[in-house]
């Protein structure tokens, strides 16, 4: 199936705490409505890679918004090099559960009210920091952020920081990990699945044994193309089904 032509734009959203948040948006050129997707960044910002992933999902038929989660501490368009984590670190540490919830709600409201979007078909996908934010978004699903599905690629900090949210998850979850990941220990990965099982949540848990942290990103040294291709196909199928 050929990929659809897309439209790209930048938008600015009002957040409930009085801040303004930039976001990158991509959607099919063809008239909708289409399913919506919240796309949450890595620790390095809404950079070229995240924009590229946004566009890939748009070409698959989604209206996608990638909010800039560092907007309180970094200038619009901030992106750190993958070889310069210290530049990203203060912004990463400034993201709290409370500020992330406000940003999630703002981005979800934008999708939900957009004429191009089917409001009952909004899902989330996130990478690294964004994997944790996608999990967090799913814990808000019963109230102001109803989701159809939530995908977390190597979500750092889900364990132990968000395990108390497991009981609140509403949408099915897809958890994707790298077996070689030293940032997220096997014990933490196991703690996530045990918490979801204990709460009888619907989830799929996948570990790519030859993949390291960040393996999906083709601009990182840890890129593992075979695992990335398989994870992409699995994610598309999970979101569709």
Catalogue the active-site residues: 128, 181, 213
Provide the β-strand partners of residue 48: none
The set of residues, in sequence order, having a beta carbon less than 8 Å from that of 144 and lying 6+ positions away, is 105, 108
63 touches 111 (CB < 8 A)? yes
Calculate the alpha carbon distances from 200 to 18, 56, 162, 166, 193 in Å. 37, 33, 16, 9, 10
**5 vs 7: CA distance, rounded Å:** 7
Biggest distance spanned by C-alpha atoms of the chain:
46
């Amino acid at each position: 199936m050929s990929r659809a032509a897309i439209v790209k734009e930048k938008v600015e959203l009002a957040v409930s705490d009085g801040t303004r948040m930039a976001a990158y948006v991509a959607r099919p050129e063809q008239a909708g409505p289409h399913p919506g997707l919240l796309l949450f960044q890595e620790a390095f910002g809404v950079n070229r890679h995240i924009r590229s992933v946004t566009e890939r999902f748009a070409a698959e038929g989604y209206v996608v918004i990638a909010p800039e989660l560092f907007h309180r501490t970094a200038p619009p368009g901030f992106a750190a090099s993958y070889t310069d984590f210290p530049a990203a670190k203060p912004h990463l540490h400034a993201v709290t559960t409370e500020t992330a919830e406000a940003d999630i709600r703002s981005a979800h409201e934008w999708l939900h009210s957009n004429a191009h979007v089917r409001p009952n078909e909004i899902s989330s996908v996130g990478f690294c920091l964004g994997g944790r934010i996608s999990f967090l978004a799913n814990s808000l699903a019963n109230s102001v952020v109803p989701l159809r599905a939530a995908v977390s690629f190597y979500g750092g900090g889900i364990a132990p920081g968000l395990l108390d949210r497991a009981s609140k998850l509403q949408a099915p979850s897809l958890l994707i990990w790298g077996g070689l990941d030293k940032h997220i220990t096997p014990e933490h990965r196991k703690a996530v699945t045990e918490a979801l099982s204990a709460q009888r949540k619907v989830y799929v848990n996948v570990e790519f044994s030859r993949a390291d942290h960040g393996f999906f990103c083709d601009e990182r040294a840890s890129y593992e193309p075979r695992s990335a291709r398989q994870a992409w196909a699995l994610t598309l199928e999970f979101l569709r089904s």
